[in-house]
Copies of this chain bind each other. A is one copy, B any other.
């Protein structure tokens, strides 16, 4: 991580960062998880290895690791922030029912901004894209629900 420290612009001054147990375990656990967990979910996971860690420490380290470019903080629509162990740009797809979040298997669209040049007064810097849908489990439940509804209404009318 040290060779990256030079690139840090988001961190104040020339902070001398320390690799504490907490920071290391938080990064390790996030890297091995593909859940895109919330801070609280990651906290619970890290707690299995470091029972005395605090939620505040998790938040602080997630912020620092994001500034370092080691991870990503995902500020998607909806309320809670999610964290992603993969720092490279990629899109996500989220389940509208259970909030499950996965990587979207689609390459970044690098020409999206082109349509805006000249059409907006903004200096365009990028975009955020997120897909919405139903995960397999919720899809199944939704289908079952609709079938049940149909049956009920048919019975009701019969």
Once bound together, how far apart are the Cα atoms of A136 and B120, in whole Å? 10
Cα–Cα, bound, A113→B106 (Å): 10
Say how far A52's CB is from chain B's closest CB, in angstroms.
Answer: 30
Residue A156 lies at the interface, judged by CB distance under 8 Å to chain B: no
Number of copies: 2
Q: Which of B105, B119, B126 is the one whose CB lies under 8 Å from A120?
A: B105
- Residues of chain B lying within 8 A (CB to CB) of residue A132: 124-128
A139 touching B123, Cβ below 8 Å:
yes
Verify if A116 is at the interface (C-beta below 8 Å from B): yes
List CB contacts (< 8 Å) of A23-48 with chain B: none
- Decide if B136 touches A122 in the complex (CB within 8 Å): yes
- Say which size band chain A's interface belongs to: 35 or more
Give the residue name and chain of the B residue nearest to A121 (CB). B136
- Distance in angstroms between the alpha carbons of A125 and B94 in the assembled complex: 10
Cβ-closest chain B residue relative to A73: B77
A123 to B140, CA, bound (A): 10
Residues of A bordering B, CB below 8 Å: 75-79, 93, 95-96, 102, 104-106, 112-113, 115-116, 119-136, 139
9 new A-B contacts, CB < 8 A, other than A122-B131, A126-B131, are: A77-B128, A79-B79, A102-B122, A104-B120, A121-B136, A122-B139, A123-B139, A127-B131, A129-B129
Pull 7 A–B residue pairs with CB atoms less than 8 Å apart, ordered by A.
Answer: A102-B120, A104-B120, A106-B119, A113-B131, A116-B131, A121-B135, A125-B133
